[in-house]
Amino acid sequence: MLGQHGLQGLRLVECAHAQHKIAANSPTATDHAVTAADWYGSIGVALLLAAFFLNLFGRLPTGSRWYPAMNTVGAGLACYASFLLAYPPFVVLEGTWSLCALVALFRPTSRRPENA
């Protein structure tokens, strides 16, 4: 037996299912053209993740020149993609990340760890 709240819960499930079905059949869900922002963002995020995983598994020390270089370029591309998408929070995030990595990239080598 469904109680008073049981019918409301059933309606919510039906509504959520109907919205999902409508969204899945909309033209924008399946016919999305790949934009420049998609390419820049994807390449940037791929570089950031590659640097992260290579460092995590000991293949790329943070003291090397490659680590901040990959972060500078990757975050810069992600920042530009966010700018093209007009999404200010990620422009600020990725822009700050890129600038910090750029500073680390050009830091004098005497201040770098010995494993560079």
DSSP string, 19-58: HHHHHHHSHHHH-PPPPHHHHHHHHHHHHHHHHHHHHHTT
Q: Is the pLDDT of residue 23 over 60?
A: no
pLDDT value, residue 116? 52
Do 21 and 62 share a domain, yes or no?
no
Number of domains observed in the structure of the chain = 2
What is the residue-averaged pLDDT of the chain?
A: 81
Kindly report, residue by residue over 74-110, the tens digit of the pLDDT: 999 999 999 999 999 999 999 999 999 999 999 987 5
pLDDT value, residue 106? 94
pLDDT value, residue 32? 79
Do 67 and 88 share a domain, yes or no?
yes
Do 65 and 85 share a domain, yes or no?
yes
Neighbours of 68 (CB within 10 A): 21
Q: Is the pLDDT of residue 111 over 60?
A: no
- Domain limits for position 69: 37-116
Longest dimension (CA), the chain: 75
Do 99 and 77 share a domain, yes or no?
yes
